[in-house]
Amino acid sequence: MSHVLELDRTPWVRIVNYTIKAALFAAFFVAIVIEPSTVEGKAMGFRAPLFLASAVLVPVIAKLRGWEPYPHTADALAAAPFLLDTLGNLFGFYDDYPVTDDILHALNWVLLVMAYHAFRFRNVHERRDAVMLGYGFGALLIIWWEVMEWAVSEDGFGGAGNLSLTYEDTVFDLFLSSTGGLVGSVIAVYLLGPRSSA
């Protein structure tokens, strides 16, 4: 049995999951209703459906599919990057500390790939090729994320046309995120996977 199933049954993982969800909804409430100057031009209304979906989709799917135990580990890991990005905008970190974007590209992909493995190890109880599968998942995810950013910057959806993307920035984001994905994959395989490769 994979370790992630044990984690999903622990009260502290459930508390962490609920805390992340509550914080994400609260952050968007502040960003959209109160509208502090730090989120001006950040298209928070455009981001809200996508980012909040990360907090809603897993509970809906888990209910429909009858997942037991509930995937608190994967759920928390999948929503955490969206919370970090939202807080980075809300507190003005992206504007005041430009390195925030680089840090979160790496860290968020660690978390997203760990979420992938947290879901995967609920059903697959072997570690063979797992590190490379997670690495590939993270690489595909950042490619499509950058495609989406480019599309948004070109069309200016939701006032987000001021992303100021450059070739160098895109390539560096691809590098940082895919590397973060590799790190997250290694961590997840050993922390969330089965205790043996059998």
What pLDDT does 163 receive?
60
| Rounded CA separation 18/79 (Å) | 10
- Residue 63: which of 71, 54, 73, 51 has the closest Cα? 71
Contact between residue 104 and residue 59 where contact means Cβ atoms under 8 Å apart: no
**Cβ-based neighbours of 113, under 8 Å, separated by 6 or more:** 134, 135, 137, 138, 180, 181, 182, 184, 185, 188
Q: Where are the alpha helices (DSSP H) in 43-124?
A: 44-65, 72-90, 93-96, 99-120
> What is the structure's pLDDT at 160?
52
- Which is it for the CA torsion 161, 167, 169, 171, positive or negative? positive
* Residue showing tokens 């922390």: 191
**Tens digits of pLDDT across the chain (198 residues):** 899 999 999 999 999 999 999 999 999 999 999 999 999 988 898 889 999 999 999 999 999 999 999 999 999 999 999 999 999 999 999 999 999 999 999 999 999 999 999 999 999 999 999 999 999 999 999 999 999 888 877 765 555 545 667 889 999 999 999 999 999 999 999 999 997 644
Q: What are the residues facing 194 on neighbouring strands?
A: 2
What is the structure's pLDDT at 117? 98
Instruction: Quote the pLDDT of residue 198.
Output: 43
